Structure 1
Amino acid sequence: MKCYQCGERASVKCAKTNEPTCVACFVKWFEEDVHKTILTCSIFKHAYVLNKLNRDYDYGLDLLLLSIDEGITGYRDDSLKAVERNEVEYGIPLTIVSYKDLYGWTMDEIVSKIGKKNNCTFCGVFRRQALDRGAFKLGAAKIVTGHNADDMAETILLNVLRGDVGRLQRCTNAITGADGTLPRAKPLKYSYEKDIVMYAHFKKLDYFCTECIYAPNAYRNNARVYVKDLERVRPQVILDLIRSGESLAIRSEVEMPQVSNCTRGFKHQ
């Protein structure tokens, strides 16, 4: 089998294009693919690729690493070690913000109280707030996350299944934050998870890819399994889901109902 770009012997198949390719062409294609997303959406990638593209394309970025410690034994404690090694290798300052410091408890302590149900719902709210607070503390202009095409497809499917069309706009945008919060960018929005892992493998990057120990109990896991089953039949389905979500998003001129803050349980003095 020959590489579809250079004609040399192919060693891998690109998950996004389903085309055979050699390692050199794959690495070049992946970096250019991310760069095109950056140019189109004015967003920037994190860690190694961002650091490399920042030099190659002269983005002129001042990069900072921000990691959230949820307090999940056997998961986050191991991943933080990899992030700390990245700080040394790439020379990018690292800040770690923990649930324990912010809220007074860890995710493990929460699970011990509520059981292994809806853990991801709680954690997602706490994590988003922790990222905002950590980024504001650093004086960052934008938060860049590693959400990939697989994540996007799962989230879109979940919102459709829940009938939550209002969230489609937020979950499909490459940049969010129009509501006044610190902007968040997703430069890997169109990059397949398999391609990201292959790129990290070929570049010998120090990365952590173990799944959270509470993830198998999440409702999202059902969407993940369904998307993977569809991908095996038709690899293009992940991008199709993303494009569908973008098309279904509510137009900016449509006024959505405003939700007020809950006052239940509070008494005015």
Structure 2
Amino acid sequence: MPSCSAKCGRNAILKRPKTSDVLCKECFFEAFENEVHFTITRAKLFTPNTTVAIAASGGKDSTVLAYVLKLLNEKYDYRLKLLLLSIDEGITGYRDDSLDTVKQNRDDYEMSLKILSYKDLYGWTMDEIVAEIGRKNNCTFCGVFRRQALDRGANLLKVDYLATGHNADDIAETVLMNILRGDLARLSRCTSIITDSGDGIPRVKPLKYCYEKEIVMYAYFRKLVYFSTECVFAPNAYRGHARVLLKDLEKIDPTVIMNIIHSGETMKVSETSKMPKLTNCTRCGYVSSQEICKACVLLEGLNKGLPRLGIGKSSKVKRLLKENEEKNKSSGICRGEEDKTCLCSGTDSMKPVKINELVLKELRI
């Protein structure tokens, strides 16, 4: 058995994917924690005497994040108040089980926990949404709703920061996805270690430079309790293709993960480029680059029996909304907003099948 690369005199039990160093368990813990501490201090992620909500899913990333932040907070006197914020998407056999892990983390780490559900916020669970739309675009709905739910939860708790468990692999995957989609405008946001949704509560990524494999090893050797089952709807996600590509590249060269992140950082859109101006959604008040935020557009589609309405470009969505309203009026279906059974008023109590099918046909991808 080889000796630890840190020359501590102990035998090595693992090889770090990130650096190829062979280390003993204790030296690996120290190296991992020191790197997270360095990331936090170098990027000035937190200021003393503030409150941090940790986005907790019960998975390896958020569990390690909660554990390490608690440890570093005590070791280096960050003077942070830490609490857990979880979102219940309403996925039977997945989220209900993972929330049990979050509750155990709450007890183990002595942190308060707030759980918000899609059902309470939007009136739909993901199980209900998938039953309505199928499995092809469910991650679009879940991603939009989850991001907004976390922001709303952070505002509700009046915290100063929202810490997420995004790791180096996650960020590299997102860079690849944006490049493959030709969406270079999103590179700045996805690679930034601190982002602001416009509500004044920064999102921070303390694990930005931590490899997924090392997070798994840290959780394993620390004997942390986490939920390891993949979301039942995840195999259909577009991200899965980027993940497979990244893993194949990593087999050839482990440094490819950091190389992709650094490439994404240098490929940011020029500051002179015209970017969407943030405003507030006219319906829910949430920060948005459009008059109506993506979540409200998706909800409108669900409530009107047009679940694919919000999938696609915003200009196409606006056009189809207007056309649908005009068709309703010309056919005599629309009786004005004062009539609560009117399709245009946003309720789903009346769903003209022929009109819905016409719109769905145009939206089909």
The answer on 1:185 being equivalent to 2:187 is no
Deviates more, 1:245-254 or 1:151-160: 245-254
The answer on 1:17 being equivalent to 2:36 is no
Cα–Cα, structure 1 residues 42 and 178, in superposed 2: closer, same or farther, change >3 Å? farther
The answer on 1:222 being equivalent to 2:223 is no
Q: 1:253 deviation in Å? A: 4.4
Q: Which residue in the other structure is 2:40 paired with?
A: 38
The answer on 1:8 being equivalent to 2:13 is no
Within 5 Å, which residues of 2 pair with 1:60-139? 60-139=79-158
Unmatched runs of 5 consecutive residues or more in structure 1: none
Q: Deviations over 1:190-241 (max 9, x none)?
A: 0001111111111111112221111111111000001001111110000001
Q: Deviations over 1:75-106 (max 9, x none)?
A: 11111001001111111000000001111110
Cα–Cα, structure 1 residues 206 and 3, in superposed 2: closer, same or farther, change >3 Å? same
- 2: CA distance between counterparts of 1:221 and 1:155? 11
Q: 1:36 deviation in Å? A: 0.7
Within 5 Å, which residues of 2 pair with 1:254-265? 254-256=273-275, 260-261=290-291, 263-264=318-319, 265=321
Match of 2:211, as an amino acid?
Y
Q: Which residue in the other structure is 1:240 paired with?
A: 259
The answer on 1:52 being equivalent to 2:71 is yes
Q: Which residue in the other structure is 1:197 paired with?
A: 216
- 2: CA distance between counterparts of 1:178 and 1:79? 27
Q: Give the secondary-structure state (helix, strand or coil) at the position aligned to 2:227.
A: coil
- 2: CA distance between counterparts of 1:241 and 1:61? 32
- 2: CA distance between counterparts of 1:230 and 1:180? 37
- 1: CA distance between counterparts of 2:71 and 2:196? 26
Q: 1:257 deviation in Å? A: 5.3
Deviates more, 1:112-121 or 1:201-210: 201-210
Match of 2:3, as an amino acid?
K
Deviates more, 1:226-235 or 1:243-252: 243-252
Cα–Cα, structure 1 residues 66 and 178, in superposed 2: closer, same or farther, change >3 Å? closer
- 1: CA distance between counterparts of 2:134 and 2:84? 32
Q: 1:138 deviation in Å? A: 0.4
Q: 1:74 deviation in Å? A: 1.3
The answer on 1:153 being equivalent to 2:182 is no
**% identical aligned pairs:** 57
Q: Deviations over 1:103-161 (max 9, x none)?
A: 11100110011001111111000001100111111001111000100100100000000
Q: Give the secondary-structure state (helix, strand or coil) at the position aligned to 1:96.
A: strand
- 1: CA distance between counterparts of 2:98 and 2:129? 20
Q: What is the TM-score when the length of structure 1 is the normalising length?
A: 0.94
Q: What is the TM-score when the length of structure 2 is the normalising length?
A: 0.70
Q: Give the secondary-structure state (helix, strand or coil) at the position aligned to 1:68.
A: strand
Q: Give the secondary-structure state (helix, strand or coil) at the position aligned to 1:63.
A: strand
- 2: CA distance between counterparts of 1:257 and 1:59? 36
Match of 2:225, as an amino acid?
D
- 2: CA distance between counterparts of 1:195 and 1:137? 33
Rg larger in structure: 2
Match of 1:43, as an amino acid?
L
- 2: CA distance between counterparts of 1:180 and 1:248? 26
- 1: CA distance between counterparts of 2:36 and 2:104? 24
Match of 2:163, as an amino acid?
V
Count of aligned positions: 269
Match of 2:209, as an amino acid?
Y
- 2: CA distance between counterparts of 1:199 and 1:226? 24
- 2: CA distance between counterparts of 1:186 and 1:153? 13
- 1: CA distance between counterparts of 2:168 and 2:66? 18
- 1: CA distance between counterparts of 2:99 and 2:176? 30
